Amino acid sequence: LSLSYKALPDDDLRRRFRALGVFALEGTFDRAALAAVWGDADEDKARAPLTKLVDAGLLDGDRQSERYSQHRLLRAYARALLEEAGEEAAVFQRYADWVIEESEAFQQLPLEQWSQLDPLIPHVTEVGDALADAEGEDANVRLAALLIPLRDFFFYRRDQLQHRLSWFERAIAYLRQHSELRLLSLLLVSVSRLYEGVGAIDRALDVLGEALSICKKYEDPRAIAVTQSEIADLYVKQGRWDEALALYQESLVTKKRLNDPREIAVTQHSIADLYVKQGRWDDALALYQESLVTFQRLNDPSAIAATQTMLGQLLIMRGERVVEALLLLWQAYLTVERLGNPREIGQMREIITRARNRIGTEKFAVLWEQATGAPLPEWLNTPPQNDQMAALAMGLLKLLYAVGGADAVREMLKGKVPDAVIEAILAQLGGEA
């Protein structure tokens, strides 16, 4: 490694090689990233040294994607040289500023296009961890600047960065200290979602209460309404349904006054979810249909698929308009498959498989063809398995229902199956009682 490095023709090229050590070990990067880290005001200025480093075997390039990478040993060697030369701080500042600027795309792109930002995630992790461990005002400022555009990312993709709670806690402490209340309220809402993800619901409610107080202080009706909805979501998880409904409805009134179609539809969907839990299926159906029309008008594929899924499940639970329900589920599945999230694809397959098991295999196949005009997909064209186990499980649920009632069944199934399925099971158990 040292021979290849020393063989580079000039000091500038050796400086550029050393700077590569700042990148995340698992990260790839493009020419724009290199220009930023190298301090080139013009991206084209990075072209010639980039080619020389590739030709020297110190950098690997993919001509099709125009992204570059290094072997871990090369990256570690570059990092050691960077530290030895005393250049690490200046290079890291440029790297952090680049990551912060690139992270703005999470606010600019719709959710279904976030996959194109996946190469940025290792760099977000690298910079965030470094800033959270660093001392001084500069690190606090940059950490807060990084988290503001990432606040929605942490909600939708919090499974990737769940353990980064410390980032938020440090940035929030800094913003509190400097009375940056508007930015503070944004991060409080985001960190509440992370607390929720680790089961700390009471802690999440505490920070949301603080955020709501700030929003009211600044008389920001949009932020007030959004925060009320977040609190209502947690009330639902705690079984505080009446309090949740009151907050949802108050939030909805504000969103209608502000004429915000997307937020109106999101809140209608949340209220419909709550109505399903309460057994108010007619009310839920009406709100799902209304929100679906809005999401279709807004051309929001993820929201459309989520609403189609809930509508389809609800219709099947009611045993009505089953052909329409299967079409809705199939359309939702095709959308989720196109968006390419493996976890959501798996969830949709489970939902459709449960619908088949509920309806019965032979009848389902006929209704499926009527609904979709297509044969059963391969993953669905298999007979239900473990029918005896399913019957045994239902028998145990009947016994539990007889002894402990609906609350005992809910507690047992909570977190294992969707809430809508739990309510359908309870409706079946209640009808058989």
**For residue range 183-195, what is the model confidence (pLDDT) as tens digits?**
899 889 988 988 8
User: For residue 128, what pLDDT band results from cuts at 50, 70 and 90?
Assistant: very high
User: For residue 159, what pLDDT band results from cuts at 50, 70 and 90?
Assistant: low
Mean pLDDT, rounded, for 348-370: 91
Tokens 């089953």 -> residue: 322
Question: How is residue 390 written in tokens?
Answer: 């399913």
What is d(CA 376, CA 128) in angstroms, rounded to the nearest whole number? 46
What is d(CA 379, CA 29) in angstroms, rounded to the nearest whole number? 37
Q: What is the three-class DSSP state of 2?
A: helix
Whether residue 161 has pLDDT greater than 60: no
Q: What is the three-class DSSP state of 185?
A: helix
User: For residue 432, what pLDDT band results from cuts at 50, 70 and 90?
Assistant: low
Whether residue 30 has pLDDT greater than 50: yes
Mean pLDDT, rounded, for 243-264: 95
Q: Return phi, psi of residue 60, to 5°.
A: -100, 140
User: For residue 420, what pLDDT band results from cuts at 50, 70 and 90?
Assistant: low
Mean pLDDT, rounded, for 226-255: 95
What is d(CA 198, CA 210) in angstroms, rounded to the nearest whole number? 20
Residues 6+ apart with CB under 8 A from 377: none
Which residue pairs from 207-215 have beta carbons closer than 8 angstroms and sit at least 24 positions apart in sequence?
208/234, 210/185, 211/184, 211/185, 214/181, 214/182, 214/184, 214/185, 214/188, 215/185
Tokens 């099947």 -> residue: 316
Asked if residues 247 and 228 have their Cβ atoms less than 8 Å apart, the reply is yes
What is d(CA 207, CA 425) in angstroms, rounded to the nearest whole number? 35
Mean pLDDT, rounded, for 400-418: 78
Mean pLDDT, rounded, for 249-255: 96
Angle at 21 between CA 18 and CA 27, to 5 degrees: 140
Q: Does 132 or 162 have the greater pLDDT score?
A: 132
Instruction: Tell me the pTM.
Output: 0.72
Query: H helices then E strands: how many in the chain?
Result: 22, 2
Whether residue 327 has pLDDT greater than 90: yes
Asked if residues 82 and 64 have their Cβ atoms less than 8 Å apart, the reply is no
Per-residue pLDDT of 72-110, as tens digits, reads: 999 999 999 999 999 999 999 999 999 999 999 988 888
User: For residue 408, what pLDDT band results from cuts at 50, 70 and 90?
Assistant: confident
pLDDT number for residue 386: 47
Q: Return phi, psi of residue 67, to 5°.
A: -115, 155
pLDDT number for residue 230: 94
pLDDT number for residue 193: 84
pLDDT number for residue 126: 93
Mean pLDDT, rounded, for 201-216: 95
Distance of CA 387 to the CA centre of its chain: 35
pLDDT number for residue 157: 67
pLDDT number for residue 94: 96
User: For residue 260, what pLDDT band results from cuts at 50, 70 and 90?
Assistant: very high
Question: How is residue 154 written in tokens?
Answer: 């942490």
Whether residue 180 has pLDDT greater than 90: no
User: For residue 431, what pLDDT band results from cuts at 50, 70 and 90?
Assistant: low
pLDDT number for residue 392: 64
Distance of CA 241 to the CA centre of its chain: 25
Q: How far is CA 393 from CA 111, 390, 397, 398, in A?
A: 38, 5, 6, 9
- Residue among 135, 144, 25, 33 at smallest CA distance from 89: 135
Q: Does 413 or 266 have the greater pLDDT score?
A: 266
Tokens 């391969």 -> residue: 378
Question: How is residue 153 written in tokens?
Answer: 């990312």
Angle at 115 between CA 112 and CA 119, to 5 degrees: 160
Mean pLDDT, rounded, for 310-320: 92
Mean pLDDT score of the chain, rounded to an integer?
88
pLDDT number for residue 407: 84
Per-residue pLDDT of 368-396, as tens digits, reads: 999 999 888 888 876 555 444 555 677 77
